[in-house]
Amino acid sequence: MKKIEFIFGSALLLLILVGALGILQMHTHPVMPIEPFESAEGIPWRLLVALYVFFVVSTTGFCIIISLGEVFGFTKLEPILKECMLMALVTILVGLMTIALDLEQVMRGYFAIAGHVNTTSIMFWMIMLYVLYVIFLIVEIWFYFYDDLIKQREERGLRGLVARVLTIPKASETKDFAKVIGFVTVFTAIIANSNLGALFGVNYIPLWHDPLLPVHFVLSAIVSGAALSVIGVYITDFARGVKIEGERYEAIQMLRVILGFSIVVMIFFTAWKFVTKAYPNSTLLSREAALPFINGEFAFNFWVMEVAVGLLLPLILLAAPQIGRRAEGVFAASLLTVTGIFFLRIDHVMGGLALKLITGMSFPSPVYHPFEIMATIGFFALTILLYYVVYKLMPMEVGE
């Protein structure tokens, strides 16, 4: 291993350790007895749930991009499909780990798969659909990489071992089978993601009780999938020391178009979501639900991070020809978009619960507990490390 890889890997491991420490502290000392964190004690869903939503919607986004390239014939996206597949797998695994560690009783997390089933519970169906999604995604990746894995059997070392374990020497039509399973995977992913949107559709939380919420989730999946694909491809090529040109450049440009278009639709969705809620005679508490975002404690999160940084600035960067035509420009716009999407998740989860005036307790402003921030850093580092490991083990060159 090269020296820089060693340093980078150790830095990531250190961050993962910080995250693990955060998780441990969260479960043993739930609240630091200093303000403002003490007021957030009774709030059920905080930063980790927002992080989970972020990961899970990202994986749906990756799946949609993959299916656009593989199943629906956007052939320009083909050179980057392998990276997107690995990123989809890594993000769903880390996402499921995030929510499993947020449970109060982590050791009982498997109960829903072990027979304790409530069919009217949307959260139960979410668990089941994501388990199915992981199964289908793994099968799709296995068959997509099959031909290249056969070629890797002859190599020595860990890569050859992985390839020999995963394949038998004679097989055919695996790419077509992968295409069929790809269709099934994206079908499951979209159902699961819109199910997650419906999970938030709890009756009496006005910010969430919106029949368009499942659609909004799938739309933000497209945005975050396109943006994260650009980021992933750019960083991968940067780490390999390769300049982006040729086919991969064309793929980035295609992603630029998809990202720009979906950001425009997202702007309309966001604008109308808040206008209909802030309207004077809108339903019970709707107005009070929307006001924290317009000029209340969540105003900075909403106007600056979510709208300006997340939607408007990337759109300008993508539309401007001098910036949008360069891969670096699309990368910068995608970074801004992903930041905006992350704050969208925080606003959605914590902003929705901000109005929960139960027993006289509410937390009007977004509170980020230090242990949660540590855990978030750890999970991001884990994603990068897992992606790096899987990238090194799998055959990544575009097959003949």
Partner 1 sequence: MRRRTLILGLGFAVLVYLILFFYVFGLSPMVTGSSQAKWVEMELSLEPKFSDTEICKECHYQLYIGMKNHSKVSCEACHGSGVEHTIKRTSDTIVKDRTRDFCLNCHLDVGGRDAVKTVNETHHPGIYCVVCHDPHK
Partner 2 sequence: MNRRNFLKLIAGFLPAVALVRGQNAGESHKSYVMVVDVNKCIGCGKCVVACKVENDVPMDFKLSRTWIEGYAVKEKIPIEESDVKKEVLSTSKNPFLDKSWIETTRGRKTFYVPKLCNHCANAPCVNVCPVYARFYTKDGVVLLDKETCIGCKYCIVACPYGATFTHPEQKVTDKCTFCYHRIKRGLKPACVLACPTGARVFGDVNDENSEVSRLVKENRVAVLKPEWGTFPRVLYIGLDSYVVE
Contacts with partner 2, residue ranges (CB under 8 A)? 30, 41-42, 44-45, 103-105, 108-109, 111-112, 116-118, 120-124, 126-127, 199, 202-205, 284, 353, 356-361
Provide, rounded to whole angstroms, the least separation between the CB of residue 116 and partner 2: 4
Which residue, 183 or 261, has its beta carbon nearer to partner 1?
Answer: 183
Provide, rounded to whole angstroms, the least separation between the CB of residue 178 and partner 1: 9
| Cα three-residue angle 358-360-365, rounded to 5 degrees | 85
Q: What is the largest CA-CA distance in the chain?
A: 70
The DSSP-derived string for 159-177 is HHHHHHHH--S----HHHH
**Phi, psi (deg, nearest 5) at residue 366:** -70, 125
Q: Is 139 in the site for partner 1 (CB under 8 A)?
A: yes
Which of 1, 34, 114, 358 is close enough to bind partner 1 by CB under 8 A? 114
Provide, rounded to whole angstroms, the least separation between the CB of residue 272 and partner 2: 25
Rounded to the nearest angstrom, the gap between the alpha carbon of residue 248 and the centroid of all alpha carbons in its chain is 23
Q: Is 116 in the site for partner 1 (CB under 8 A)?
A: yes
Which of 1, 3, 28, 119 is close enough to bind partner 1 by CB under 8 A? 119
Which residue, 41 or 173, has its beta carbon nearer to partner 1?
Answer: 173
Residues 6+ apart with CB under 8 A from 165: none
Residues 160, 224: Cα–Cα separation, whole Å: 34
Asked whether the bond before 36 is cis by omega within 30 degrees of 0, the reply is: yes
Residues 274, 394: Cα–Cα separation, whole Å: 45
What count of Cα atoms within 13 Å lies in the side-chain half-sphere of residue 357? Answer: 6
Q: Is 202 in the site for partner 1 (CB under 8 A)?
A: no
Partner in contact with 177, chosen from partner 2, partner 1, none, beta carbon below 5 to 8 Å by kind? partner 1
Which of 74, 142, 177, 303 is close enough to bind partner 1 by CB under 8 A? 177
Rounded to the nearest angstrom, the gap between the alpha carbon of residue 148 and the centroid of all alpha carbons in its chain is 27
Q: Is 123 in the site for partner 1 (CB under 8 A)?
A: no
Which residue, 116 or 325, has its beta carbon nearer to partner 1?
Answer: 116
Which residue, 41 or 328, has its beta carbon nearer to partner 2?
Answer: 41
Token pair for 89 = 């797998």
Q: Which of 55, 74, 192, 62 is nearest to 140 (CA)?
A: 62
Q: Is 117 in the site for partner 1 (CB under 8 A)?
A: yes
Q: Is 132 in the site for partner 1 (CB under 8 A)?
A: yes
Provide, rounded to whole angstroms, the least separation between the CB of residue 40 and partner 2: 11
Which residue, 111 or 279, has its beta carbon nearer to partner 1?
Answer: 111
Provide, rounded to whole angstroms, the least separation between the CB of residue 360 and partner 2: 3
Which of 17, 123, 171, 180 is close enough to bind partner 1 by CB under 8 A? 180
Which residue, 204 or 300, has its beta carbon nearer to partner 2?
Answer: 204
The DSSP-derived string for 353-391 is HTT--BTTB---S----HHHHHHHHHHHHHHHHHHHHHH
Residues 311, 279: Cα–Cα separation, whole Å: 23
Provide, rounded to whole angstroms, the least separation between the CB of residue 46 and partner 1: 29
Which of 5, 38, 173, 328 is close enough to bind partner 1 by CB under 8 A? 173
Which residue, 13 or 113, has its beta carbon nearer to partner 2?
Answer: 113
In terms of Cβ atoms closer than 10 Å to its own Cβ (0-12, 13-18, 19+), residue 173 is exposed
Q: Is 184 in the site for partner 1 (CB under 8 A)?
A: yes
How many positions of this chain bind partner 1 (CB under 8 A)? 19
Q: Is 135 in the site for partner 1 (CB under 8 A)?
A: yes
Q: Which residues of 9-29 are buried (b: 16+ CB within 10 A; e: fewer)?
A: eeebeebbeebeebbebbeee
Q: Where does this chain bind partner 1 (CB under 8 A)?
A: 114-119, 128, 132, 135-136, 139, 173, 176-177, 179-181, 183-184
